[in-house]
Each structure stands twice: as structure tokens, then as C-alpha cells.
Amino acid sequence: MNNFALYGTNAIIESAPLAMIMADTSGSMVTVNKDAEQLFGYQRRELLGEPVELLFPKRFRNSLTIPQGNSRDKRMAHPAHISGREREIFGLHKNGKEFPVKVGLNPVRTHSGIFMLAGFVDISDRKSLEQHLQERTLELERQTGELTRAYEALERSNMELQQFVYAASHDLQSPLRSISGFVQLLEEDYATSLNPETRECIRRTIENVEQMKTLIRDLISYSQIDAHSIPFEPTDMNQVFEDTTRQLEASILETGAIVTRDTLPVVSGDRLQLVQLVQQLIGNAIKYHSNKTPRVHMSARKNGTAWRFRVSDNGIGIAPKYQSRIFSLFRRLHTQQDYPGTGVGLPICRRVVHRHGGAIWVESEPGNGSTFYFTIPITGK
Amino acid sequence: MTETSALLRTPNILLVEDNENDVILTRKSFQKNQLSINLHHVENGEKCMEFLRKQGDYRDAPTPDLILLDLNMPLMDGREVLAELVVDEQLSHLPVIILTTSDNDRDVLKMYQLRCNSYITKPVNYKDFMAIVKQIWDYWFKTVELPVAH
């Protein structure tokens, strides 16, 4: 060993801010810096002249020495197969504990010959972080899997429920048709011979059948909102409004309602369902009118990433404490005598709006009319 | 006063319907409309085919002038009946009206593809149904020529 020749190299190694060890071609350590002492827990003098294998667990030792060329003399000790590249292996501390370490190997040519210079970085922290990260990833994957399964189960039960409602509604129509038919036959055949009280019973029976028919029809359309959906297409809301007012012509004429609109935007949606939505909202605005001439106005305004539509009326209004329940199925605020209805209309609206990725709500004060808002996201293009 | 058909005889209508109430109500609506017909009734598709082929209990059955066919029935449903009728040379000329509760788009399309003569969804209201029965009569027994099999 020519210490003089190595002097410059040693100075560099000693001052380097990471653990460095240099070994000769036989694998004996010739230089160990302070950081290396700390990393492996040895005094320098305990290592100098010792084989570099000392610093690695047994399982790595076979791969530590690999032949350089054919000569056994030129065997060079290093803890990885390829020099000049970084490797992640385990180091062995003097106390017997292993720790993950990153090793960089480089041959160094000096006047005294070729040495192998190894730099070590303790990567315990990074490894434990990585392990933690991996565990978290696995946990997340597991949770995602669970969520996906739960979502699929929910979707399945939702579909089943829709099919159930649809099938049940259809099956309910059949006996209802018979009841209605037979009662009407009774009424026709015995109209003159029945006393007023019996005729009133028949009239009420027919009336109830009619109401149930409406209910079933509404339930069917409620159950179909998600089931029979068609792809969204650009839909002109002005056209939707016009279609709606045409369909509501009878009640508009009957009440003398004034139904107006601003210029409305084109949205991406299911046209028939949007007509259903607007028809319900305007229909309600007319239906729940006060003693004033019903005035209904529809407008829209861009609100961030969505269109916010507004249907306002001058009707009877809704007390704040009831405003949240009106969107729930079968929740009504009035008797059949005051305002006939099925309690399915606004739930249909809510479902249509949700299917379009928007929200629906109402602002109202009793006696001061109601304003229904709904949003529809603005899609790209 | 009872109306007579252009056939100069009482038309035979075969009602293929599993719901007894509907059978009574249909029969009643012909009566109420004062339309004179022979309404024959079978309760499923299998019996319908036997009736048309004059097999089993139906050896003496007449060939109907018009078939009113329900879709949803036990054993053999109306879809199967129509599919079998249209490929049977002896029976393919018979006019078939689908009379059902189903307003399913796919059913409607499928039945017309099988060349049904019309598809009617039974209205829930009986008065509407009575009106439809009258229209069936006016169209099939006063307006159109019916085929005569040789």
C-alpha cells in the first residue's frame, strides 16, 4: 500500500458528506471515513485490512466478490455485480442489525493500482416511508375494491327496485282497469234505478280509481328515469319551454296564467326528461296559484360551471319548514280536495336534475310565491 | 238496434286472453255497443293454436274473421302465437290485432315486424275501451275487405 499515493484520495474521502469505504482488489478495506464508521458502528481501526464482506449480511456475501477478468488475484470485493451503478442492498451494523442501504461503486485508478470506492447512503427512512406508502396503497386498493363492490351491489338493488316498481305498477293497472270497468258498467246499467247515495258511492269509487291511475302512471315514469335513459344531446331549453307550455295549454287557458321566459341556453341533456322537469315545475307554479292571476317566469344564468335555471311564480308559496320535504316521494302539503296530486312530481324533478348532474331547490315564503332553482352543468364544447 | 256487419253474417272473433275480467268486459263492450258478434274465447296461446287448427276440443270451431290477441299469457304467449301464425300457410291470412296492457316499445316494434294488423294498448278507462271496440268494429267489419280462404 502506497499511502503517499493515496493521500489525495483519502482526503477527499474523509471530507465527503457520506459514508465511503475504499477496498483493494483483494477486497480488504483500505480507507474508511467518519460517516462510514458511524453508519456501520465500527471504529476505523477495526475495519482497515478487514474484508469488506464484514459489513454485509451473509446472504449477500457470495455475490460480493466477483472475478475481474480471469485472474483470481484481481478479484475485487464489492457488494454488487456491476460497478458504476447504484444498488440497494442491506448493510450489517456492528450490533448485528441489518439496515437498507444504497451503494454506489466506482473503480479508482491510482499509482498504486486499482481500488474500488464505495459510497453508502442509509435509506432506512426512505424504505420505511416506501413500506408505509405501499401499505397505504394496498389499504386504499382494498377500500376501493370494497367501495366498488358496495357500489355495484347498490346499483344492482337500485335496478331491481326500479324493475320492481315498473312491474308492480303495470300489474296494478290490470285489476284497476277491471274495477273501473265493472263500476262504470254498474253506473250505466243502473243509473236510473240507483238512489243518490249509491250513485255517490259509485262516483267516489270511479274518482278513486282515476286517482290511482294517475299515481301508477307517475310511479312508472318515476321508476323509468334512470332505467330507460338515452344518451345526452344538445337540448335547446327554449324549445323545451315551448313544448311544455303547449302541453300545459289547457291549464294555462283555464287559469288565465301568464307564462313567460327569458332567452334560455342550450344544455346537454335528455330532452324528454327535461320537458318532464320543466312541465312539472311550471305546472306546479300554475296549479298552486293564489287568488291573483298566475304569473310564471323562467330564466337562466351562467353560474360558474353550471347553468342555473329559475322558475318563479306568484302563487301560494311554501313555508320554510316544509321546503325540504317537498322533494321526497309521496310527501304532500295539501289534501286531495284542496290540490289533487300524487306526491311524485317533484321527486321526478329531483331525479331528472340529479341524473343531469345538477341540484334543485326552492326559495319561498307563504303568500309571496315560490322560486324553484335547478342547475345543469355546462359540459365541454 | 243491433248493427250488422258488411259480412252479411255474424262475425266470428277469437279473443285470446288469460284475464277473465277482461274477457267479460270485452264481451260487455260489444254488447253495450250493440254489435252482434260471436265472441270465442281461449285463455292461452296453445289453446289458440288448437282452436285455429280445429284440433282437440275445437274440432267444430269456426275460422275466426279476426283475432284479438293478448301478449302476456301463461304457457304460450301472444308473441309466440303470432310468430307461429305468420309462417303457417293455412293461418297467415288471418287478421290479428294485438290487444294488451304492454306499451313497451320493443313489443310494439316486434309485433309489427311480425306483421300484426294493429297494436292496441288497453286503456285504463272503460269508456275509452268501449270506444275502441266500436272502432275495431267499424274498421274491420264495415270498412275493409276481409280475406276468404279457399
**CB contact B122 to A (< 8 Å):** yes
Q: pLDDT per residue over B16-69, tens digit each?
A: 999 888 999 999 999 999 999 999 999 999 999 999 999 999 999 999 999 999
Confidence class for position B1, pLDDT limits 50, 70, 90: low
Instruction: Please list every residue in chain B whose beta carbon sits closer than 8 Å to the beta carbon of residue A173.
Output: 101, 124
| Closest C-alpha to A345, from A252, A281, A288, A287 | A281
pLDDT (mean) for A175-200: 85
- If one compares A29 and A331, the residue with the highest pLDDT of the two is A29
Q: pLDDT per residue over A259-310, tens digit each?
A: 999 999 999 999 989 999 999 999 999 999 989 999 999 999 998 999 999 9
- If one compares A75 and A225, the residue with the highest pLDDT of the two is A225
Measured CA to CA, the distance from residue A294 to residue A148 in angstroms comes to 49
- Least CB-CB distance to B126: which of A170, A175, A184? A184
Confidence class for position A67, pLDDT limits 50, 70, 90: very low
Structure confidence at residue A85 (pLDDT): 63
What is the residue-wise DSSP string for A320-335?
GGGTTGGGSTT--SS-
Cβ proximity of B35 and B7 under 8 Å: no
Q: Which three cell numbers stand for residue B39?
A: 265472441
Least confident of A112-121, A219-228, A321-330, B82-91: A219-228
CA B58 to chain centre: 17
Least confident of A105-114, A229-238, B115-124: A105-114
Please give the share of chain A, as a percent, with pLDDT higher than 70. 90
Neighbours of B23 (CB within 10 A): 17
Give every CB contact of residue A180 below 8 A, 6+ residues apart in sequence.
A206, A209, A210, A213, B124, B125, B126
CA A19 to chain centre: 48
Which residues are A258's β-sheet partners? A295
Structure confidence at residue A229 (pLDDT): 64
Structure confidence at residue A72 (pLDDT): 42
Record: contact B126-A185, CB cut-off 8 A: yes
Confidence class for position A86, pLDDT limits 50, 70, 90: confident
Our CA-based measurement puts residue A135 at a distance from the nearest CA of chain B, in whole angstroms, of 51
Cβ proximity of A218 and A330 under 8 Å: no
Structure confidence at residue A357 (pLDDT): 92
> What long-range pairs does A165-171 form, CB within 8 A, spacing at least 24?
A165/A219, A165/A220, A165/A222, A165/A223, A166/A220, A166/A223, A166/A224, A166/A227, A169/A216, A169/A219, A169/A220, A169/A223, A170/A220, A170/B101, A170/B102
Cβ proximity of A13 and A35 under 8 Å: no
CA A45 to chain centre: 61
- If one compares A128 and A165, the residue with the highest pLDDT of the two is A128
Report field, pTM of the whole predicted structure over 0.80: no
Q: pLDDT per residue over B118-135, tens digit each?
A: 999 998 888 899 999 999
The ipTM assigned to this model is 0.73
C-alpha distances (whole Å) from A298 to each of A27, A308, A355, B93 are: 87, 11, 21, 55
pLDDT (mean) for B126-148: 92
Which residues are A102's β-sheet partners? A88, A121
**CB contact B21 to A (< 8 Å):** yes
Taking phi over 0 as left and psi of -120 to 50 as alpha, with beta for the rest, B99 belongs to beta
Record: contact B25-A176, CB cut-off 8 A: no
Cβ proximity of B25 and A182 under 8 Å: yes
Q: pLDDT per residue over A327-351, tens digit each?
A: 887 777 787 777 878 788 899 999 9
Q: Which residues of A make CB contacts under 8 Å with B?
A: 170, 173-178, 180-182, 184-185, 188, 213
What mean pLDDT value characterizes chain A? 84
Structure confidence at residue A77 (pLDDT): 45
Cβ proximity of A225 and A218 under 8 Å: no
Structure confidence at residue B150 (pLDDT): 64
Structure confidence at residue A7 (pLDDT): 66
pLDDT (mean) for A35-58: 90
3-state secondary structure A52-102: HHHHCCHHHHCCCEECCCCCCCCCEECCCCCCCCEEEEEEECCCCCEEEEE
- Least CB-CB distance to B101: which of A173, A188, A213? A173
Please give the share of chain A, as a percent, with pLDDT higher than 90. 38
Which residues are A371's β-sheet partners? A312, A363
Instruction: Please list every residue in chain A whose beta carbon sits closer than 8 Å to the beta carbon of residue B122.
Output: 177
- Least CB-CB distance to A184: which of B22, B101, B127? B127
Q: pLDDT per residue over B72-101, tens digit each?
A: 888 888 999 999 999 999 999 999 999 998
Measured CA to CA, the distance from residue B43 to residue A178 in angstroms comes to 17
Record: contact B22-A177, CB cut-off 8 A: yes
What is the residue-wise DSSP string for B54-68?
T-GGGTTPPPPSEEE
Cβ proximity of B124 and B132 under 8 Å: no
**CB contact B129 to A (< 8 Å):** yes
- Least CB-CB distance to A174: which of B19, B28, B123? B19
| Closest C-alpha to A276, from A323, A238, A330, A222 | A222
Q: Which three cell numbers stand for residue A71?
A: 485472474
- A76: pLDDT strictly greater than 80: no
pLDDT (mean) for A114-122: 88
The backbone torsions φ and ψ at residue B99, rounded to the nearest 5 degrees and listed phi first, read: -130, 105
Instruction: Give the sign of the dihedral formed by CA A342, CA A344, CA A346, CA A349.
Output: negative
Give every CB contact of residue A179 below 8 A, 6+ residues apart in sequence.
A205, A209
Measured CA to CA, the distance from residue A340 to residue A30 in angstroms comes to 99
**Greatest Cα-to-Cα distance within chain B, rounded to the nearest angstrom:** 41
pLDDT (mean) for A163-178: 80
- A250: pLDDT strictly greater than 50: yes
Cβ proximity of A57 and A98 under 8 Å: yes
Structure confidence at residue A216 (pLDDT): 85
Record: contact B124-A185, CB cut-off 8 A: no
Structure confidence at residue A79 (pLDDT): 43
pLDDT (mean) for A151-180: 81
**Greatest Cα-to-Cα distance within chain A, rounded to the nearest angstrom:** 135
Sheet holding B66-69, edge to edge: B38-42, B12-16, B66-69, B96-100, B118-121
Structure confidence at residue A126 (pLDDT): 85
Record: contact A182-B22, CB cut-off 8 A: no
**CB contact B150 to A (< 8 Å):** no
CA B40 to chain centre: 9
| Single-letter code of the amino acid located at A376 | I
What mean pLDDT value characterizes chain B? 91
CA angle A226, A227, A232 (to 5 degrees): 55
Cell 328515469, residue?
A225
Which residues are A370's β-sheet partners? A364
